[in-house]
């Protein structure tokens, strides 16, 4: 893209074109992927400790397939979506902001995928086993398909977001925005918030809340550790810093 300043109309036209690319790609993959979702649904069900899944509504199975198809489509197209967003905003950023965005995007995608996978393959089976243990031998659990999928997604996706915290802490600390001392100062409040989040996303059982709270709090401590490693005091004119002089390197 040229370095000249674009008019508002040109910005809106560019935004419209990029939205068309994203929406069109998502729509094509969503419609094409719908015919291949059923084996994935069967694999998801068989990979859980739940043995009997039922539907209680006429459209429940259909919307379950739609939900899986939409989630998988957004995951597959996430690199394209991030590219289109970056291509639109990068020309308006300073050189330092461009470097931060480029450095964060790749590791951020990887960490999100790893966190989501950890939530699905570790947290979900663990919590399901704990919940099923309360039924005993005389009660046969029957899970609704929509409820089971919602449970899996609600537990997996938050761990993908949670995995981004150390990266965000490291970047903010490197820029001098986040002081590692804040983690120590607000640790007691963090513990309270961790259990509050666990109460919201976990089933209403003390054991399930504890299983959710432990990895969340460990991620908090890992973020504090990363922040201490990469922390750099805020840049000022009187101190030397390796941060680039944005006023000289950026003409905006």
Q: What digits encode the pLDDT tens for the residues 101-146?
A: 777 878 888 889 899 998 888 888 888 887 787 777 777 788 889 8
> Is residue 251 domain-resident?
no
Q: Stretch 85-89: mean pLDDT, rounded?
A: 81
Question: What is the average pLDDT score of the chain?
Answer: 82
> Is residue 206 domain-resident?
yes
C-alpha distances out from residue 122 to 116, 128, 141, 145, 164, Å: 10, 10, 21, 20, 18
CA distance 47 to 191: 32
> Is residue 92 domain-resident?
yes
CA distance 135 to 145: 18
Q: Read off the tokens for 226.
A: 């990363």
> Is residue 244 domain-resident?
no
For residue 30, what pLDDT is reported?
Answer: 94
Highest mean pLDDT pick, 16-25, 77-86, 165-174: 16-25
Residue positions counted in the chain:
252
C-alpha distances out from residue 63 to 40, 144, 149, 245, 249, Å: 14, 13, 11, 53, 52
pTM of the model: 0.73
For residue 225, what pLDDT is reported?
Answer: 93
> Is residue 240 domain-resident?
no
Q: Read off the tokens for 112.
A: 């999100």
> Is residue 31 domain-resident?
yes
Q: Stretch 161-180: mean pLDDT, rounded?
A: 87
Q: HSE (CB half, 13 Å, CA atoms) of 43?
A: 8
C-alpha distances out from residue 37 to 67, 92, 241, Å: 10, 40, 52
Q: What digits encode the pLDDT tens for the residues 134-159?
A: 777 777 788 889 888 988 888 888 88
The number of domains in the chain is 1
Containing domain of residue 136, as a range? 9-235
Q: What are phi and psi of 54, to 5 degrees?
A: -125, 165
**CB neighbours of residue 163 within 10 Å:** 23
Q: What digits encode the pLDDT tens for the residues 3-39?
A: 556 777 887 888 899 899 999 999 999 999 888 899 9
CA distance 159 to 150: 15
CA distance 149 to 66: 11
> Is residue 1 domain-resident?
no
Q: Stretch 62-88: mean pLDDT, rounded?
A: 88
> Is residue 102 domain-resident?
yes
């Amino acid at each position: 893209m040229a370095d000249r300043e674009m008019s508002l109309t040109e910005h809106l036209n560019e935004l419209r074109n990029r939205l068309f690319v994203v929406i069109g790609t998502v729509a094509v993959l969503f419609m094409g992927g719908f015919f291949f979702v059923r084996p994935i649904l069967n694999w998801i069900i068989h990979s859980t400790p739940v043995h009997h899944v039922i539907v209680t509504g006429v459209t429940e199975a259909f919307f379950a397939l739609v939900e899986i198809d939409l989630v998988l489509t957004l995951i597959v197209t996430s690199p394209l979506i991030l590219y289109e967003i970056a291509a639109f905003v990068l020309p308006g950023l300073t050189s330092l902001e461009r470097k931060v965005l480029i450095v964060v995007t790749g590791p951020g995608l990887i960490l999100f995928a790893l966190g989501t996978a950890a939530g699905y393959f570790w947290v979900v089976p663990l919590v399901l086993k704990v919940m099923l243990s309360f039924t005993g031998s005389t009660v046969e659990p029957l899970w609704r398909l929509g409820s089971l999928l919602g449970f899996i997604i609600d537990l997996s996706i938050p761990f993908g977001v949670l995995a981004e915290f150390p990266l965000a802490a490291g970047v903010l600390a490197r820029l001098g925005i986040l002081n590692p001392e804040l983690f120590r100062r607000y640790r007691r409040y963090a513990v309270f918030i961790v259990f509050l989040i666990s109460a919201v996303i976990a089933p209403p059982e003390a054991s399930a809340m504890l299983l959710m709270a432990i990895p969340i709090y460990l991620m908090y401590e890992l973020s504090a550790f990363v922040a201490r490693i990469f922390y750099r005091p805020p840049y000022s004119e009187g101190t030397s810093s390796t941060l680039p002089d944005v006023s000289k390197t950026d003409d905006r």
